[in-house]
Amino acid sequence: MQAYQPELEVLVAFVDGNIGAEVLEQALHTERMQALLSVFINPRYPASTNYCRKLIKGADRDSLSGLVNSERIVAHFLTLAEVSHMTNKPYGQLYQFILAIQLEYLDIPADYFLAHILPNEDGLSKTQKIKIAKQKIKTLFRYSERAPQWIQDPQWPIYNQVPSGVFGANQD
C-alpha cells in the first residue's frame, strides 16, 4: 500500500471532506488509482467487491445521493485497506439536512439547493436554518391551487435558475 500513498491521500481527503468530488473524479480516471481500487476484489464476488467499478460506473457524483454513496464506498475501501481516516461525512450530513427540509414530492438538485436555498449566514442554529430553507422552498417552488401529492418526475423543472410552477396538479 505504500506504493499508492498519493492515491490513498486523495481518498482520505475526500472522506474527510477536505477535497471535492471534482478532484476525486479526476483521480479515479488514473491507472494508479484504478489499480489501487482493484486490490481487494474477491474473485467469488467480483461485482460487489470491485471498488473501482462501483466508484467510476456505479456512483453518480452529480447528485447528492451519489456523493453520499461515493463517501460510503471510499470509507469502506479505506477500512478494508486499514488506512486510518476520519469520516466527517460532509455530504451525508448535508443529505440528512436536505431530507429534513425537502417536501416529499420534490427532489431538488444538490447544486441548486446549495446555491439558492441553503442559508449561508454563520451563527444560525440548525432549527433556524431549517426554517429559512423551508420558507425559501415555499417561495421558489410554486403551485396554483394545492400542493401536488405526486409528480411524475420528482426533479422539478428549473429554467434559468428559477423553478417552474405547477398548475392544476391532479390530486387523485
Give residue-wise pLDDT tens across range 21-34. Answer: 889 999 999 999 99
Q: How many distinct structural domains can be found in the chain?
A: 2
Asked, for residue 96, whether it belongs to a domain, the answer is no
Give percent of the chain above pLDDT 90.
Answer: 15
Asked, for residue 71, whether it belongs to a domain, the answer is yes
Q: How confident is the model at residue 42 (pLDDT cuts 50, 70, 90)?
A: confident
DSSP states of 86-127 as a string?
----HHHHHHHHHHHHS-TT----HHHIIIIIS---TT--HH
Asked, for residue 48, whether it belongs to a domain, the answer is yes
Whether pTM > 0.95 for this model: the answer is no
Q: Between 151 and 44, where is the model more confident? A: 44
Q: In this structure, are residues 146 and 165 in contact, taking their beta carbons and an 8 Å threshold?
A: no
pLDDT tens-digit map of 112-141: 888 888 888 888 888 898 899 999 888 887
Q: Between 134 and 103, where is the model more confident? A: 134
Rounded to whole angstroms, the Cα distance separating 70 from 161 reads 27
Rounded to whole angstroms, the Cα distance separating 36 from 139 reads 47
Asked, for residue 164, whether it belongs to a domain, the answer is no
Q: Mean pLDDT, the chain, as a whole number?
A: 80
Cα 37 vs. chain centroid, distance in angstroms?
21
Backbone angles phi, psi at 81, to 5 degrees: -80, 0
Asked, for residue 87, whether it belongs to a domain, the answer is no
Backbone angles phi, psi at 50, to 5 degrees: -90, 90
Residue 74 and residue 115 in one domain = no
By residue range, what is the domain housing residue 42? 2-80
Asked, for residue 144, whether it belongs to a domain, the answer is yes
Q: How confident is the model at residue 171 (pLDDT cuts 50, 70, 90)?
A: very low
